[in-house]
Structure 1
């Protein structure tokens, strides 16, 4: 189950990665016409609506992305099957169809069916389509039906499966929807404290990938909160909408880079230069793009207490921002780019105070991390025992050489069963974990290694992971 959920988390990164395009388009549009929201400028209207075309169809992106990512071969027929599955369930359980099936007026249909076009249903559609692909993509039918064999059979079976799922959801969805609404309302009803709880669990779940499920409830239109969508389309409440996003900016732009500085300053003298190259790159990535995994994974497993502290501070940041009604939003993550793009949006409220808060949190992160590292002799970057020390630089930084060395460390063709990647990590399945030379992989300068199962591991490469994965793919051919 853990491996399955991690694969789901990786698959969700594909559709989520599309959101920056919407953020750029809508951000520039609102920057041009921050008060008219496009009504006073044709160019602004064009850009805003172009961005909305992505934001408004996140559930479809999830259906296609999850189906593609969870399919064993990552084939295009799995992706189109995800779309087919989503279209079937959202049509069968639309308000008009339900009214027709029950023979009642549209106004009398349960409100849950008005929200069937949501991220949760998108993910469910993708999972079912992927399951159909994995089960039927190699099935051979009798000769007179041979045209529909193999991958052509997958969309058909996905449609059939979703008809069954739709029949079940007809009874289950109103109950599930009610529970989700109650959960969302129980947190949102807590106001700033609820935002703080959300921030804490968001970070705490990062290692498992389950933070995506939590994000779905608060960021998207699963239960009506839709914090990202309402922030960017201007349909929310000023000073309130964005409360589940704003508190991340002080952490990702200031707090985590300061934590990296603390790790640099507490590293052994002879290791400082090597650690500096790593934390500088990871810190800049966190600040500029909001991608925090390189920094987080650099201490998540080396010093888990620090990671819990990081989660607590993240919750505190969201609580403070929400309590003072300081809001900003993001299309991808809470980095500098999204911060600048969102500053002039109608829903942004005193966003400059998030910078002030961020500077305070930078000081807090730096001194808390430094104190804990020194006080408890935590083996963070550059503080490992001599026989465990990790080289953080490589004599050759080319992707081909890096990939060759990592692949050899994994055991090569005889040991690697499968390998793919997400935003920053290589995800590897091996025949025997004992045949993996972890020290050799670490010596390439990667951010870290995470053993997630008896035959599964992750190599934290960073933002250039795609290019390393591409080179490994060439080696495997």
Structure 2
């Protein structure tokens, strides 16, 4: 079983490439921010009072639609980053890398949910318990909210797995799962293990970040 490894890059080159991957979600975030700002402001009571014509039901439907569309990037920003990072960093098969990024991030949160459920913390609707454990609904999964940083870490891990295994050759009996098909498979396994570690280390990590006021 062999796999082709990617050429070595310096740490500086890596961070340069990583920074470029942020441009895709940031560009969409900017556009969505404009949509949300316009839609929300023009549908507000104060603006309608000032400019009564904006109270037209058709116009209000348009403004509400703009607000809904604009809220997308803010609701799914971590997901966008965990997809954009493998997509931007991968040298080949970028679509596979992006797909694996989504798979890895979703599985990571499912593993976190498994840990929380196994410990008896979930299921619950108690707001105090959810707040104490920093639990949010992520892709419809109750999980610890690791924010953008968690998505960036997940994206980098998936990218490393992609670069390591996208050309892997498996024995003939398992050949169907080789090559690019193996990337989302190994990503789901590795990120499933990462998700079991997050509940143990993230509270400490979050405390350090809060102490540094980051």
Q: Which residue of 2 aligns with 1:111?
A: 133
Counterpart residue number, 1:57: 76
CA distance in 1, matches of 2:166, 2:209: 34
Of 148, 158, 172, the match for 1:143: 172
Q: What residue is the counterpart of 2:94 in the other structure?
A: 75
- Map 1:199-210 to 2 at 5 A: none
Instruction: Flag the 1:170–1:31 CA change in 2: closer, same or farther, 3 A.
Output: closer
Query: Quick check: 2:110–2:195 contact (8 Å CA) kept in 1?
Result: no
Deviations 1:218-238 (A, max 9, x none): xxxxxxxxxxxxxxxxxxxxx
Aligned residue in 2 for 1:14: 24
Q: CA deviation at 1:167?
A: 2.0
Aligned to 1:101: 118
SS of 1:139 mapped into structure 2? coil
Q: SS in structure 2 opposite 1:179? A: helix
Distance 2:166 2:148 in 1: 26
User: Could you say which residue in structure 1 is the equivalent of 2:139?
Assistant: none
- SS of residue matched to 2:22: helix
Pair 123,36 (structure 1): closer, same or farther in 2 beyond 3 Å? farther
Native 8 Å contact 1:19 1:54 kept in 2: yes
The alpha carbon displacement at 1:113 in A equals: 4.1
SS state of the match for residue 17, structure 1? Answer: helix
Rounded Cα–Cα distance in structure 2 between residues aligned with 1:14 and 1:173: 27
Q: 1:98 to 1:117 in 2, by over 3 A?
A: same
The aligned length equals 182
The equivalent residue for 1:23 is: 33
2:99·2:184 contact (CA, 8 Å) conserved in 1?
A: yes
Q: 1:43 aligns with which of 53, 56, 62?
A: 62
Task: List structure 1 runs of 4+ shifted beyond 4 angstroms.
Answer: 107-110
1:140-169 CA distance string (max 9 Å, x none): 111221111111100011111102211222
**CA RMSD, aligned part only?**
2.3
Counterpart pick for 2:111 among 83, 92, 99: 92
Contact 2:111/2:193 (8 A) holds in 1: no
Alpha-carbon distance change, 111 to 151 in structure 1, aligned in 2, over 3 angstroms: same
Question: Please, which of 2, 17, 37 is the counterpart of residue 12 of structure 2?
Answer: 2
**Counterparts in 2 of 1:46-445, with a 5 A limit?**
46-73=65-92, 75-94=94-113, 97-104=114-121, 106=124, 107=126, 108=129, 110-114=132-136, 115-116=144-145, 118-184=147-213
Kindly name which structure, 1 or 2, has the bigger radius of gyration based on alpha carbons.
Answer: 1
Query: Alpha carbons of 1:35 and 1:75: their partners in 2 closer, same or farther (altered >3 Å)?
Result: same
SS in 1 for 2:134: helix
- Where structure 1 has 5 or more consecutive residues not aligned to the other structure, the ranges are 185-216, 218-477
Q: Which has the higher helix share?
A: 2
Deviation for aligned residue 1:119: 0.8
Which range is displaced more, 65-74 or 109-118?
Answer: 109-118
* Deviation for aligned residue 1:104: 3.9
Could you say what secondary structure the match of 2:205 adopts? helix
What's the offset of the Cα at 1:117?
5.0
Specify whether residues 93 and 113 from structure 1 end up closer, same or farther in structure 2 by C-alpha distance, changes over 3 A only: farther
Deviations 1:418-457 (A, max 9, x none): xxxxxxxxxxxxxxxxxxxxxxxxxxxxxxxxxxxxxxxx
